Amino acid sequence: MFSPFLERVRTRAPLVHAITNYVTVNDCANALLACGASPIMADDPGEVAEITQGCGGLVLNLGTLHQHTIPAMVSAGQTANTLGHPVVLDPVGVGASALRTDTAHMLLETVAFSVIRGNISEVKALALGRGCAHGVDASGADAEDPLEETIALARAFARHTGAVVAVTGATDVVADASHAYCIRNGHPFLSRVTGTGCMLSALIGAYVSASPGQVLEATAAAVCAMGVCGELAFARMTPQDGNGSYQTYLLDALCTLTGENLEENADYEVR
Amino acid sequence: MFSPFLERVRTRAPLVHAITNYVTVNDCANALLACGASPIMADDPGEVAEITQGCGGLVLNLGTLHQHTIPAMVSAGQTANTLGHPVVLDPVGVGASALRTDTAHMLLETVAFSVIRGNISEVKALALGRGCAHGVDASGADAEDPLEETIALARAFARHTGAVVAVTGATDVVADASHAYCIRNGHPFLSRVTGTGCMLSALIGAYVSASPGQVLEATAAAVCAMGVCGELAFARMTPQDGNGSYQTYLLDALCTLTGENLEENADYEVR
Amino acid sequence: MFSPFLERVRTRAPLVHAITNYVTVNDCANALLACGASPIMADDPGEVAEITQGCGGLVLNLGTLHQHTIPAMVSAGQTANTLGHPVVLDPVGVGASALRTDTAHMLLETVAFSVIRGNISEVKALALGRGCAHGVDASGADAEDPLEETIALARAFARHTGAVVAVTGATDVVADASHAYCIRNGHPFLSRVTGTGCMLSALIGAYVSASPGQVLEATAAAVCAMGVCGELAFARMTPQDGNGSYQTYLLDALCTLTGENLEENADYEVR
């Protein structure tokens, strides 16, 4: 059921504009190329509206947020909204500083997002004004929230924002106001490589750009594809391999993943 | 015929200053180290003139262009000109925004470039004021231009700017006003990894810094070396490998390439 | 004797805040994750004090220094000082421009550093106002300084600054005012990959954050661990491998290094 979304990225090769952090930007660009999309990174306020016009979708990522980039995010986001392009928000580290929290809230008020993806601490910080992030990772306490609570949170925040909300963790929850996909793919080693969350947000950007009419399903497909690739990458690990090789294997898996692999390995339910 | 250029980079180990984008900067630095040169990345207007003085060459790359970096590009470029250091321009994404196009034209007026390298859409946008880029990639339409047209374009733009012009694609064209190298090395998979164009521009910076009196031949040698490395990297690919492994193999090939490998695999003609 | 420091990083999983350059930031983040710590990169003056409050240690790295980041370095450094968090300085390329040299001196006056790590040219530039850097690498001339001189320099600079001083090269010297560790691990190939110095400074940040009462020993342990990993990574190299694979193997080694590996391979003396 998810494979048509993967194939559509390969066929349509959407151009995705990302305003993102400088820590993981290379991995995001390569993740987009791996899945069959094309990346363009541009964040100067003087060009982002024009750049985003030529693209099929936009990803805004708050990691290494800079004050001078915020107007670029608003400008690109509003342009994408006007053109009907999907816009993805990755509120990296929201809750860790007032700058990030205030910027995320301001963006929610000025830009209509198609998808918001974060870990449980980030989504709680954004939706409830609390959550206890450990830097850019979810806190252990938040990560132990019962699945039912996470689903209720995601649905309520989806209803509030009009966006599909993806809360990624041991079990990923992708929800709109009425339905929630619970996806059990992935591997704990994904958290040993920087940027796997950012890469996933970029991937979601590609998937929703290729299937703009089915944002919920396309987002769930992207989350599931990333999880499956995390498993396939781990299966290649030898005793000498660590997070260096895993990062390489993960991109490789995104690049070689077939619709059949995805269907065979997908492990999810809809609630 | 190209191997002396490769050997000279290894022997002279030129220090190359790059003002470049944050997407592919790590790969550019590692490409410079792989080929035997040394990188220094610095883009603050307050230090670039001083940094470039201590180097053998300069590369200006417009990917993720920032308005506050433009004065640094002018300052470094003019300092390099005064000192007689070769300067390479990589007009990434020119044509995709007025900021990039205007900046590229301004740089052509204020800095004398030794080499300008871009894909066919970028070179057309710069030379003719049109071209239809697909983000930072050449458009399919532009990529189908007949080779004769590309050679004529490169020669005319070389005559106009005084720079060697390298138009990279399925067949790479490296031309000055009177001669054109047509290089048929490379592999389509190079376009599946972000930054291979940027890495090539950095490599050209190293080659022309090591052989400053032979800009045309040194640029052709660098373009050919990158193409051969793209082939060698692809030859190592297993069915599980994707663009993650290919990126690694490409750097490996740049690092282990010998003059003999280069001569054996070089596939070019001079027109 | 160094393994308890490695184990403590894994057990305590310190969150390390880095204000660092955009060339090697991804490798620094992955090096922190590999050793068992967690990274957060943030450099906007509007949030760094708040970010560093939630962390266990701070690393300031001057590679690709930007004028607008300097106030962030001061703000984060002084906040970390107030909270008693260890602060590491990596004065990349100091001596190569007045901006870097002046900034490094200003930081030494306004922030109390726990550790200063650089190559011999950088430490001489900082301590003596001379040294002849080759870009961001030590010059050949400086690298031939007799070990006794390097030890004397490191001790004197440690006495002057109150910091542990780590001078890395063929033999690494880690000294406070009274003791010096001379560490003979490492491999020349480490200099063929960009960012191994930056990664080491990040690693030191993790080690001293996990063992804040033993800054000298923790720094020596981190330097030794990096050296051993450089050896282990080189041992995996095949004839086709170059700096691409070496970078991967190095992260892998940091990730899989055990206390036993470290003890078995450690090669150092205390003077």
SS3 C22: coil
> To which residue do tokens 């000294």 refer?
C175
CA distance B56 to B78: 14
SS3 track for A74-134 = HHHHHHHHHHCCCEEEECCCCCCCHHHHHHHHHHHHHCCCCEEEEEHHHHHHHHHCCCCCE
pLDDT digits (tens, 9 = 90+) for A136-147: 778 877 877 899
CB C42 within 8 A of CB C48: yes
Pairing assessment for the beta strands C57-61 and C87-90 based on DSSP bridges: parallel
Banded model confidence at residue B233, pLDDT cuts 50, 70, 90: very high
CA–CA distance, C236 with A263 (Å, rounded to integer):
36
Q: Which of B63, B192, B244 sits opposite A250 (nearest CB)?
A: B244
Mean pLDDT of chain A: 96
Query: Where would I find the beta strands (DSSP E) of B53-179?
Result: 57-61, 87-90, 115-119, 164-168, 172-175
Whether the CB-CB separation of A180 and A270 falls below 8 Å is answered with yes
Query: Which of C241, C161, C109 has the alpha carbon at shortest distance from B34?
Result: C241
* pLDDT, tens digit, 9 for 90 and up, residues B57-84: 999 999 999 999 999 999 999 999 999 9
pLDDT of residue B145: 83
Residue A80: band (very low, low, confident or very high) from pLDDT cuts 50, 70, 90: very high
Rounded CA gap, A84 and A112, in Å?
A: 10
- Has residue B135 got a pLDDT over 80? no
C123, pLDDT greater than 80: yes
Question: So what's the pLDDT on residue A140?
Answer: 77
Does A131 score more than 70 pLDDT? no
- The 10 Å Cβ neighbour count of residue C182 is 18
- Partners for C (CB, 8 Å, 3+ pairs)? A, B
Query: Which H/E stretch holds residue A167?
Result: strand A164-168
pLDDT tops 80 at residue C265: yes
Residue A132 reports pLDDT greater than 80: no
The ranges assigned to domains in chain C are 3-270
When pLDDT is averaged across residues B187-196 and rounded to a whole number, the result is 98
| Residues C62 and C105 sit within 8 Å (Cβ to Cβ) | no
d(CA A140, CA A133): 9
pLDDT confidence band for B41 (50 / 70 / 90): very high
- Is there a contact between B244 and A22 if contact means CB atoms under 8 Å apart? no
Residue A99 pLDDT: 97
| Strand extents, DSSP E, chain C | 15-19, 38-41, 57-61, 87-90, 115-119, 164-168, 172-175, 180-183, 268-270
Taking contacts as CB-CB distances below 8 angstroms, the residues of chain B near A54 are 96, 135
- Res. B167: pLDDT tops 70: yes
Contacts of B135 in chain A (CB under 8 A): 15, 38-40, 54-55
Q: Which residue of A17, A30, A43 is the best one to mutate when testing the B interface, meaning the one whose CB has the most B CBs within 10 A? A: A30
User: Residues A66-93: what's their mean pLDDT?
Assistant: 98
Model confidence at C252, in pLDDT bands (50, 70, 90)?
very high
Rounded mean pLDDT of B116-140? 85
Q: Is the pLDDT of residue C222 over 70?
A: yes
Please give the DSSP secondary-structure letter assigned to residue B133: -
Q: What is the pLDDT of residue B132?
A: 63
Tokens found for residue A53: 């016009």
Test A40 with B247 for CB contact under 8 angstroms: no
CA angle C215–C217–C218, rounded 5-degree value = 65
Size of interface B-C (CB pairs under 8 A): 105
Mean pLDDT, residues A202-218 taken together? 98
Residues of chain B contacting C96 with CB distance shorter than 8 Å: 40, 42, 50-51, 54
The per-residue pLDDT for A133 is 65
pLDDT at B114: 98
ipTM (interface predicted TM): 0.96
Mean pLDDT of C75-102: 97
List CB contacts of C89: < 8 A, sequence separation 6 or more.
Answer: C60, C104, C107, C108, C111, C113, C115, C116, C117, C163
- Determine contact, residues B266/B228, Cβ cutoff 8 Å: yes
Convert the pLDDT of each residue in B9-29 to its tens digit. Answer: 999 999 999 999 999 999 999
Chain B contact set for C62 (CB, 8 A)? none
**How far is residue A257's CA from residue A261's CA, in Å, rounded to a whole number?**
6
Model confidence pLDDT, tens digit, residues A7-66: 999 999 999 999 999 999 999 999 999 999 999 999 999 999 999 999 999 999 999 999
> CB-CB: which of A136, A137, A240 is closest to C256?
A240
What are A180's two structure tokens?
Answer: 């929630």
C140 pLDDT higher than 70? yes
What residues of B are in the C interface, CB distance below 8 Å?
A: 15, 22, 25-26, 29-30, 33-34, 38-44, 46-47, 50-51, 54-55, 236, 247-256
Topology of the domain covering B3-261: UDP-N-acetylmuramoyl-L-alanine:D-glutamate ligase (3.40.1190)
Answer whether B215's CB lies under 8 Å from B86's CB: yes
Please state, for a pLDDT cut of 70, what percent of chain C lies above it: 99
Count the Cβ atoms, other than its own, within 10 Å of residue B140: 10
pLDDT attached to residue A57: 98
The CATH code belonging to domain C3-270 is 3.40.1190.20
AA identity, residue C61: N
Give yes or no for residue B264 having a pLDDT over 80: yes
Cα distances (angstroms) measured from residue C214 to each of A45, A83, C19, C86, C257: 47, 58, 23, 11, 21
Structure tokens at A208: 């929703």
Whole-number mean pLDDT of chain C?
Answer: 96
The Cα A88–Cα C36 span in angstroms is: 31
Distance from the Cα of A79 to chain B's closest Cα (Å) equals 14
Q: What is the per-residue pLDDT for A261?
A: 97
